[in-house]
Every structure is written in structure tokens, then in C-alpha cells.
Amino acid sequence: MIYVADGPSNISIFSVVKNNGVKTFTVYNKGSQKEFAQNDRLLQSGRIHGYSPTNFEETSDTGMWLKMHVCTICDQITEQREIALNRKVRNRDNTFTTMKKRLKKRLKSLN
């Protein structure tokens, strides 16, 4: 998850969501030295992962940051799902192998 906010008014939520693995990002009005400084303090204090001007176009800093982190999150989800699927397949294979060995053993004991 990515939490995008407009700065200091969201300070209390930043710590909560960031501590739960959420990426935090703030935007500010381009040219506002005050907002820029506030966001920089949030970054320096570790409350946010990044910030840039309020411009969500694909080629803007904000757009590129969001796209990069959405892709990273998607890659992580895909990797986690593949690992879970491989575990299930291995467990089924192990179960099948165990059952096959037991059946062979049982058949030998009947002969």
C-alpha cells in the first residue's frame, strides 16, 4: 500500500502506516518553500519515504516515484504468491510420495 498525503496535517497517521509496511509519500505546492521544508523535515525524521510537488503526470517526479513503488509492490506480491504456490506443490508431492511408499509397504506386507 502507498499512502499519499499533503504533508504535516497527516503526521500522526504517517508513523502508524509506515510501521505497518506502507510506503508514505507527501506532495506539496511547487514553489512553496515552507511546504518543501516541512516535507523535508518529515523525510529527515523518517516519517515518510519521499515527497515531491503535486503533479501526478506519468513523467513527473511524483508520477515516477509512485509508478516505481507500485511496480515494486506488484513484484513482491507476485514473488510471495509464487513461493506459496511452490510450497503447496511441494507439500502435495511429498504427500503423494509418502502415500505411495506406504501403499508399497502395505502391499509387500500382504504378499
**pLDDT value at position 15?**
80
Is 57 or 19 the better-scoring residue by pLDDT? 57
Domain of 56?
2-110
For residue 53, the one-letter residue type is: P
Q: How far is CA 34 from the centre of its chain?
A: 31
Query: Looking at the predicted structure, is the pLDDT value of residue 96 above 90?
Result: no
Within 10 A of 7 (CB to CB), how many other CB atoms are there?
Answer: 21
Query: Looking at the predicted structure, is the pLDDT value of residue 94 above 90?
Result: no
Q: How far is CA 96 from the centre of its chain?
A: 35
For residue 79, the one-letter residue type is: E
C-alpha closest to that of 4 among 49, 34, 46: 49
**pLDDT value at position 98?**
79
Percentage, residues of the chain above pLDDT 70: 98
Number of domains comprising the chain = 1
**pLDDT value at position 99?**
78
Distance between CA atoms of residues 47 and 7, nearest Å: 11
User: What mean pLDDT comes out for the span 56-79?
Assistant: 95
